[in-house]
Amino acid sequence: MDGDCIFPHRDKEAIRNIEKRNRSMKSRDSQQLDSRVRRRWRARLLSWYAHNRRDLPWRSDPHPYRVWLSEVMLQQTRVAAVLEHYHRFLQRFPTLEKLAAARESSVLASWSGLGYYRRARMLHAAAKTIVKKHGGEFPGSVAELRSLPGIGRYTAAAIASIVFNVPVAVVDGNVERVLSRALGISGTETVWAAAEELLSRPRPGDFNQAMMELGATVCLPRQPQCPICPVFTFCASRGSLEPANTVLRQKQREISYTLDRRDKSIFLVQRPKDASLMPGMWELPERLGIQEMSPQAREGVTFRLRHSITVTDYVVNIIEGSTPTGTLGQWVEKRRIARLPLTGLATKILRRARVI
């Protein structure tokens, strides 16, 4: 790595050029990078990525099935949370064919804990389509990838560039933040166009992953690490331009569930197949809210835990005892529970209770 890459703030000529260009931008909507600056951006970013990229399993083995699985799992989910589920899912479904042949309930059971279960259903549907229409061979073009269930613009571009070296840019939340700050731009199509302009055509997969890595580890939402940014000298904002997003306050809610044991079985209920959230998933029977419970019932709480879903933080009370009369459900042997598609909260409760 050359001195410029290690100490980007020393490039005084580049800084003067950027400042001059930024002054001329005031009457324009976005910043255009000349070909010389684009070349330097690519070189610095790729050099930085080679020395600083995280060691992630789908990077060491960029097989289309594994890259696709990782991209779907990483949607709205942190890398740390994905790693454990990624390995466990591949143990259960090591190949595309195994996934396509599986029952949906088995796929959902292996997905349990990641949330956003529609992703798992679309993953399963796409696997079936690839096996049936493409003979088990993963399509390599962006257009073909986008025709598969659950694969949109970003995921298609990511798979095509990382696996098949197709020269197409990606824009996820991290890339959008980097380009919005660096170029002083906004708007979905504007950002996508800028990403295409910057893209390294000979190394699109590495470049796209480098851009995402930069946003995930350096150009952070609240505390950008500008001093260690490899493209700091090309940045219009130096981290000062923050999106004017409204920060939603987390709602607070308290809920209660019954943990009913009988011999080697647990009483579980299944969500309706047509439910808007997590249809067909299994969970513990819910009780009255803690506010509606009698003082005696309050004292009978066995344990509590916390759980978050999107904008709501839950305090969850678990009461061991008999399920209220009339509750529709069934007794499930403990050895079978782990194979059921459980909700993430049910999984958390049953693990805490040492049932699974």
Model pTM score: 0.74
Tens digit of pLDDT for each residue in 299-348?
678 999 998 877 788 999 999 999 988 899 999 999 999 889 998 899 99
Token pair listed for 193: 């166009």
Q: How confident is the model at residue 237 (pLDDT cuts 50, 70, 90)?
A: confident
The domain containing residue 209 runs over which residues? 1-242
The pLDDT value given to residue 250: 79
Same domain for 263 and 340: yes
174 by Cβ neighbours in 10 Å (0-12 / 13-18 / 19+) ranks as: buried
- The angle at the Cα of 204, spanning 198 to 210, to the nearest 5 degrees, equals 75
Residue that finishes a domain, picked among 242, 261, 277: 242
DSSP state string for 179-233: HHHHHT--SHHHHHHHHHHH--SS-HHHHHHHHHHHHHHTS-SSS--GGG-TTGG
DSSP 294: -
The answer on pLDDT for 271 being more than 80 is yes
Same domain for 297 and 150: no
Same domain for 189 and 51: yes
215 by Cβ neighbours in 10 Å (0-12 / 13-18 / 19+) ranks as: buried
The pLDDT value given to residue 71: 96
Contact 151, 126 (CB under 8 A): yes
Q: How confident is the model at residue 104 (pLDDT cuts 50, 70, 90)?
A: very high
Share of the chain above pLDDT 90, in %: 65
The pLDDT value given to residue 309: 79
Same domain for 216 and 72: yes
The residue annotated as part of the active site, out of 13, 19, 71, 176, is 71
Q: How confident is the model at residue 21 (pLDDT cuts 50, 70, 90)?
A: very low
Identify the three-state secondary structure at position 307.
strand
The pLDDT value given to residue 297: 59
The pLDDT value given to residue 5: 41
The pLDDT value given to residue 311: 77
The residue with greater pLDDT, 96 or 60, is 96
The pLDDT value given to residue 248: 60
Residues in the chain: 356
Same domain for 30 and 141: yes
Contact 86, 73 (CB under 8 A): yes
The pLDDT value given to residue 77: 86
The pLDDT value given to residue 1: 40
Same domain for 146 and 90: yes
Domains of the chain: total: 2
Token pair listed for 312: 């709501």
The answer on pLDDT for 64 being more than 70 is yes
The answer on pLDDT for 215 being more than 60 is yes
Same domain for 343 and 271: yes
Share of the chain above pLDDT 70, in %: 85
Same domain for 145 and 4: yes
- Mean residue pLDDT across the chain: 86
Same domain for 120 and 94: yes
Same domain for 316 and 209: no
Residues 6 or more apart in contact with residue 10 via CB below 8 angstroms: 3, 4
Tens digit of pLDDT for each residue in 244-265?
455 567 788 899 999 999 999 9
If you average pLDDT over residues 184-208, what whole number do you get?
A: 96
The CATH number covering residue 299 comes to 3.90.79.10
The pLDDT value given to residue 212: 97
Residues 6 or more apart in contact with residue 88 via CB below 8 angstroms: 110
The CATH number covering residue 74 comes to 1.10.340.30
The answer on pLDDT for 53 being more than 80 is yes
Q: How confident is the model at residue 9 (pLDDT cuts 50, 70, 90)?
A: very low
Same domain for 76 and 50: yes
Residue that finishes a domain, picked among 242, 276, 291: 242
Query: Is 189 assigned a catalytic role?
Result: no
CA nearest to 338, candidates 328, 350, 329, 321:
350
Q: Give the start-end residues of each E strand in the chain.
A: 251-259, 261-262, 265-270, 282-283, 303-309, 312-320, 330-333
The answer on pLDDT for 286 being more than 80 is yes
Residue that finishes a domain, picked among 218, 242, 266: 242
If you average pLDDT over residues 203-230, what whole number do you get?
A: 95
Q: How confident is the model at residue 293 (pLDDT cuts 50, 70, 90)?
A: low
Question: Among 66-80, 95-109, 175-189, 310-324, which stretch is predicted with the lowest mean pLDDT?
Answer: 310-324
Q: How confident is the model at residue 298 (pLDDT cuts 50, 70, 90)?
A: low
CA distance 104 to 117: 11
Same domain for 197 and 292: no
